[in-house]
Structure 1
Amino acid sequence: MKYPTPPWDEATIRRFFTEVPTQLEYSKLLGFKFIDLNSEDMWFDAQWEPDLRVCSPTGAVQGGMVTAMLDDTMSLAAVTVAGFDGVVPTLEMKTSFISPVWPGKLRCRGQVIKKGKQFFFTEGWLWDADGKLLTKSSATCFHKSHEEVKRIRKERGL
């Protein structure tokens, strides 16, 4: 797929996730798979399938790994709303662990609750294969356009 100039429309984002293999190593490790998105309603759904490599001694998925799945899905919701124009790093995040997260197929939704000029307020939920809510999260993200990212990289000699 040739990468179009941002901002991308929903069809382009959908094609990106269905036609381009995941490139990020942590996403591969945690078993990321795109499910669906809706840019108008500002949500992004993903499947995660963590295995024993990311578990604590109890056999449950380690909390930082659970948080990473939620963080990534919420960020994908925000960057989808931004039309994949740049990056949306998380500034702060709160995760509530309701039940242990066991290895296997999980479903996660990230949703933009409020979008400002540069800030996004997001929420995320992680369910097991039976639909039981395991974890929820909220975060504040800051949008930086591709042009801003290019400028910063140039200033730092990257």
Structure 2
Amino acid sequence: MKFPKPPWDEATIRRFFTEVPNQLFYAEMLGFKFVDLDMDEHWFAATWEPDQRSVTPTGAVQGGLITAMLDDVMSLAAITVTGFDGVVPTLEMKTSFISPVWPGKVRARGQVIRKGKQFFFTEGWLWDGDDKLLAKASATCFHRSHSEVKRIKEERGL
């Protein structure tokens, strides 16, 4: 798939996540798979399948990796709202670990709770196969448009 110029419509975003292989090592390692999205309701859903490479000595998935999964779906919900126009780095994030996450398939959803001019307030949830809530998070993201990112890169000689 040719990388189209932003903003993308919902069909383009769906094609991107179903036709383009994972290009980020951590997403591949953690078993990221696109599930669904809704640009009108501002949410993005995925499954993850962490394996033995991601566990602590107790056998549970390491908390930073759980946080990464939630950060991803929350950020993807935010960038989906913009039509993938630019970037939405996370400024701050809080993760609550409710129950251990064991290796295997889990389901995650990120939701934009409030969108301002440049800031997004997001929430995310992670469930096991029995719909038991394992972790939840909230975050604040800052949107930079594609043109702003291009300008900043040029100013820095990148």
Same fold (TM over 0.5): yes
Residue 22 of structure 2 is matched in structure 1 by 22
The equivalences for 1:83-102 within 5 A come to: 83-102=83-102
**Match in the other structure for 1:41:** 41
Q: Residue 68 of structure 1 aligns with which residue?
A: 68
CA distance in 1, matches of 2:120, 2:57: 35
2:11 match = 11
The residue matched to 1:147 in structure 2 has which SS? helix
In structure 2, distance between residues paired with 1:86 and 1:110: 18
TM-score when normalising by structure 2: 0.98
- In 1, Cα distance between equivalents of 2:50 and 2:110: 18
SS at match of 1:76: helix
- Secondary structure (helix, strand or coil) at the match of 1:65 reads helix
Structure 1 residues 73-93: Cα deviation after superposition (integer angstroms, max 9, x where no partner): 100000000100010000000
Q: How much has 1:55 moved relative to structure 2?
A: 0.7
In the alignment, which residue of structure 2 is the partner of 1:149?
Answer: 149
CA distance in 2, matches of 1:59, 1:126: 18
- Alpha-carbon separation, structure 2, partners of 1:146 and 1:130: 40
Equivalent residue pairs, number: 158
Q: Quick check: 1:105 aligned with 2:115?
A: no
How far is the alpha carbon of 1:136 from its aligned partner? Answer: 0.3
Q: Work out the CA distance in 1 between the residues paired with 2:51 and 2:152.
A: 37
Map Cα deviations across residues 30-50 of structure 1 (whole Å, 9 max, x no partner).
Answer: 110000000000000000000
User: Deviation digits for residues 94-130 of structure 1, max 9, x if unmatched?
Assistant: 0000000001000000000001110000000000111
Among all aligned residue pairs of Structure 1 and Structure 2, give the percentage whose two residues are the same amino acid. Answer: 78
5+ residue gaps, structure 1? none
> Which amino acid counterpart does residue 90 of structure 2 have in structure 1?
T
Looking at structure 1, the residues matched to 129 and 103 of structure 2 have their Cα atoms a distance apart, in angstroms, of 11
- What displacement does 1:5 show? 1.4
Q: How does 1:99-138 map to 2 (within 5 A)?
A: 99-138=99-138
Runs of 4+ in structure 1 off by over 2 angstroms are: none
SS state of the match for residue 139, structure 1? strand
Structure 1 residue 141: Cα displacement: 0.1
Once residues 120 and 95 of structure 1 are traced to their aligned partners in structure 2, the CA distance between those partners, rounded to angstroms, is: 17
| Aligned partner letter, 1:99 | S
2:53 corresponds to which letter in structure 1? Answer: R
Name the SS of the counterpart of 1:46 in structure 2.
Answer: strand
